[in-house]
Amino acid sequence: MGGFTDRLRSVPVALYGVVVLAAGLRLYSLGRESYWLDEIASLNLVAGRTLPEVLIQVPTVDRHPPLYYALLKGWIDLFGTGEVITRLPAVVFGVAAVVVIYGVGARLYDRQVGLLSATLLAVARFHINHSQATRMYSLFALLTLLSFYLLVRVVEQPTRRTVAGYALVTVLLLYTHAFALFVVLAQNVFVVGSRWLDDEGPAVPFRTWLASQAVVGLAALPWVAVLLGQALSSGGPTGLSWIPEPTVASVLLTFGGYVDPWNPIIGSLALLLVGGFVAADYAIERVDADGDTAGGEAERAPAADGSGLGTRGRTALLGCWIGVVVFVPVVISYVLTPIYVARYTIGAAMGAYVLLAALIRLVGSVEMRYIVGGVLVVAFLLPLPVYYTQDQHAQWDEVSEAVGTNAAAGDVILISQPSYANPFEHYVSREDVSVKPLPASASTTEIRAAVRGHDTVWLVTTQLPPDAVQRYRATLEANRSDTGVTEFRGLTLWRFDPGNSSRANETDIRT
């Protein structure tokens, strides 16, 4: 008890403020937006299934492992399926990650690095967005941080307790997201490679590390077997055909996206600016040292709070953490099949925030350190007003309300892509109208067959190519009038009433 109290006393008071800020940013406007497509998928995967069915069946119909879905199942059984309710677990995971990243930064370097790491994560729009979604990404980030924190503890003290804690958390991590495999790979690259970093040998005794990885591998084997089966199959609900091949630009902008995912170029410029500050300060310090470079570098290097890793070891750990999780999937995407998605690398983002904080800590001048840190925090804060005042996803609740309010019994609603029928149907409670999903490539014959026997047709389009929009409209306007079109965030709603006067009376449905 005394040790726990001592650890609490050693935590900077400012961290409590950072945690409160993180909680406020993640709770604010939590239910403002409707569910987006992936959130509906999360709910549909657990609806109507028992907990054992979620654990056994979901991995066969979804490309992600079942841990988050099992937690979500238990949560909604207790509290329901409202937007705020189902997003609360992600908020909790997100706030907890802010606490843990402080521990990672403080243990690797010092409390200043830990506090700055926590501050960056607290205000990072990239992390806030995933902490406000009914998805597994904030849990993935939290478990990644916990796994690396416990890895550092294993480096310090490779006792049974620390190794068991690391193994348990890492197994949970592997059951949270498929990209957790790259997190574990990064840890293995670091541990195996550490034998060449220092004369003292590997960071973790080989037998201890091998035993931990054997336990992790055996525990994760059922999911890995399912994942291999998915990889060998083509198409289906677990297919990856929707993922484009990554480009050099998209990969590099991933890092800028950790600052601002909707304006990654601006985020990249902020990172370059901070890097320029740190490099310039380093050059100036070398000139002022008058040749005493060894002493100058010793003063500049942050002192670790007993992590057991030297400067090269800490750098190697963060380098493997970020580099393997980002670039190995890129290589696989080029060699085998595209698997790279920026949000899947949220585990690497956690290491990037720690690295940024450590770089700022390297600035020799205290005043300049605060300036550089302030510039970076401002860069993280600037996107937040837009995030909180503008819709980020297609607003299915609004388009569904418009149809539900204005549609008459017997109307038909066409959804231009089958997968998007799920969020629409989630919000529409009308049983006297028909909802028919059609692919973007639907032919004139297919469109006519879908609306046969219905007078008024509602068409919901999203991300539909112009030629497909023209085909839909031309087919429906053959014996109907385009009497209304309304633009929503990410969605367009068309109304076609009986008659031959095409677009004779265009009005906004909302009026």
In this structure, the strands spanning 480-488 and 434-437 are unpaired
289 pLDDT band (50/70/90 cuts)? low
For residue 188, pLDDT over 70 is answered with yes
- The pLDDT score that the predictor gives to residue 286 is 64
Q: What percent of the chain has pLDDT over 90?
A: 60
Q: Which residue type does 388 have?
A: Y
pLDDT at 233: 66
Residues 6 or more apart in contact with residue 490 via CB below 8 angstroms: 391, 393, 394, 395, 462, 463
More confident residue, 455 or 290: 455
What's residue 235's pLDDT? 55
Q: How far is it, in rounded angstroms, from Cα 39 to Cα 204?
A: 40
79 has pLDDT over 90: yes
pLDDT digits over 467-509, tens only? 999 999 999 998 888 888 999 988 999 999 987 544 444 444 4
Q: Which of 167, 165, 163, 176 is nearest to 223 (CA)?
A: 176
- Read off the pLDDT of residues 431-445 as tens digits, 9 standing for 90 and up: 899 999 999 889 999
Q: C-alpha distances in angstroms, 191 versus 207, 218, 446?
A: 12, 20, 58
The pLDDT of residue 295 is 43
The distance of Cα 454 from the centroid of its chain, to the nearest Å, equals 42
pLDDT at residue 307 in the model: 62
**pLDDT tens string 307-362:** 678 888 899 999 999 999 999 999 999 998 899 999 999 999 999 999 999 999 88
Six-digit token string for 275? 């890097």
Q: What is the 3-state secondary structure (H, E, C) of 279-326?
A: HHHHHHHHHHCCCCHHHHHHHHCCCCCCCCCCHHHHHHHHHHHHHHHH
Please give the radius of gyration of the chain, using alpha carbons only, rounded to the nearest integer: 26
Q: What is the pLDDT of residue 287?
A: 63
Structure confidence at residue 200 as a pLDDT band (50, 70, 90): low
Q: What is the mean pLDDT of the chain?
A: 87
Residue for token pair 């879908």: 450
Give the per-residue pLDDT at 506. 43
* Contact status, residue 91 vs residue 30, Cβ threshold 8 Å: yes
Number of H helices, E strands in the chain: 23, 5
Domains assigned to the chain: 13-389 (no CATH), 396-498 (3.40.50.150)
